[in-house]
Amino acid sequence: MELPLGFTAHVANVGIKDDTTDFVVVAADEPCNASAVFTRSRFAGPSVEISRRHAADHRLQAVVVVSKNANVATGDPGRADAEELAAGTAAAIGCGIDDVLVASTGVIGRRYPMDRLRTHLGELRGPFTGTSADDVAAAIMTTDTHPKTAEAVLPNGARIVGVAKGVGMIEPDMATMLAFVLTDAEVPAADLDGTFRHVVARTFNSLSVDSDTSTSDTAAVLASGRAGAVDLDEFAAALHAVCLDLTRQLAADGEGAETLIVVDVAGARDDDQAKRVAKAIVNSPLVKTAVHGADPNWGRVAMAIGKCAEDTDIDQSRVRISFGDREVYPTPIGDAELRELEVYLRGDEVLIGVDLGTGEQAWTVYGCDLTDGYVRINADYTT
C-alpha cells in the first residue's frame, strides 16, 4: 500500500531490535493541517509531552517513531533525548522542531540508545524516497504478529491511509496505541480536528485488549491537501472506515488472541452508559475466558452488566442478552441451542449483544479473548 500524495518515509534499523526495522520518519512536503490525541496516563512519556505541545497548533510536517523503546519514566535525561530526536528529525527534513511529532513504544524505564540514534540522525537527509505504508506499519510493531494498514478512497480520488500498532496495554482515555493516518485530501484544520476526535471516540477509544492504559498512546492525522478539497461528510465516513478497520485489526491481534470480541450495547440511556456497560463486558476476564473456551455462559455477561452499580436505572427484568443472533436471556435455551452456540463461539469473531432497556442510545466496543498466550507474552516481556 502506497502513502498518499505529499508524503514519503524513511525506515531503518538502528539496533534497538535485533533483525527488524525499528526507526521511522514519515515526512510531508510542507507543513500540514493535523490533529493528534494522546494518552492521559500520569506516567506519560516525554514523547507524549513533547508531541502534545507540538500538535497544539494543528500543524505538523513529520512523525518520528522509535519502536521497542518507550523512553518512559527516564526523567530529565529521557526528556532531553526526546527533544534531541525531534531536533535531529527536523534538521534532516528542513522543518521546524515544533512541526515534528515524536512517538515511542516498547519497554518502560529504558532511555533511547542515543549513541545509535545520534549517529543515524547525523547521516539522515531528506527528501526521502520511501512510499510504502506497509514498511512503516512493520517498523512500528512491538509484539504485533503482523503489520496493520487500512485505506479508503474518496470520490475525487483523494486517499486516506492508516497504519497502527498495539496488541496489549490498550484501554484508552483519549487515544490508543500508536496510529497514524495520512491523507492527501484538503481539509480545514478545525474540521480535521473535530472530525478526527469524533472518529477516535467510536474506534480507537472503543478498543480494549486487557484494560491497561499505555504511557505512550498516540493517534494522529495529517492532511497534505495535495488531492484537493473534499466533501466533509464523505471524508468523515471514509476516515471512520479506515480507523474502524485498524481498530478491528488491533483487537483481533491482541496479545495471544484467537477470537475478536465485538460487544454491541443498545437501548441505553445515553452514550456514556452504553460505552460503560460495553467496556465492563469486553474487559471481564470471565467473559474473555468463556469466549476462549467456547462456553456460552451468558451469566458472565449478566455479571459484567451488574458491576455497573451506579447505573441504578438498569433493571434486570428489561435487559436482553444475545450471542450472535441468538437471544440467551431472558429467553430460555435448550441443549440443541447450547451446542449451536458452542460452535458459534469457536469462530474467529463473536458478537455479544445487550439491550439495556433504559433508552435509545448505542455503543460498540472491540476486544479479544484471554488466552495462555497472553500470559506467556507478558510474563516474559523484558526477559
Q: Residue type at 118?
A: R
Quickly list DSSP for 340-372. Answer: HHHHHHTSSEEEEEEE-SS-SEEEEEEEE---H
Residue 52's alpha-carbon distances to 37, 38, 109, in angstroms, are 8, 7, 21
User: Residue 235: which of 204, 196, 207, 197 has the closest Cα?
Assistant: 196
Quickly list DSSP for 33-74. Answer: EEEEEE---TT--HHHHHHHHHGGGSEEEEEEEEEEE---S-
Residue in the structure block whose three cell numbers are 512493520? 138
176 catalytic? Reply is yes
Catalytic-role residue among 143, 176, 215, 218: 176
C-alpha 121: how far from its chain's center? 28
Pairing of strands 349-355, 260-268: parallel
For residue 108, how many C-alpha atoms fall within 13 Å in the half-sphere facing its CB? Answer: 11
Q: Within 10 A of 42 (CB to CB), how many other CB atoms are there?
A: 7
- Spatial distance between the Cα atoms of 281 and 152, rounded to a whole number of angstroms: 31
Quickly list DSSP for 164-185. Answer: EE-SSS---SS--SEEEEEEEE
CA-CA-CA-CA torsion sign (86, 2, 166, 175): positive
Grid coordinates representing 301 are 455477561
Those residues with Cβ within 8 angstroms of residue 150's Cβ, 6 or more apart along the chain or in another chain: 161, 162, 241, 242, 243, 245, 246, 249
- SS3 (DSSP) at 161: strand
Instruction: Compute φ and ψ for 175, nearest 5 degrees.
Output: -150, -155
Residue 201's alpha-carbon distances to 56, 61, 171, 275, 361, in angstroms, are 19, 25, 12, 10, 15
Those residues with Cβ within 8 angstroms of residue 191's Cβ, 6 or more apart along the chain or in another chain: 232
The catalytic site residues sit at 176
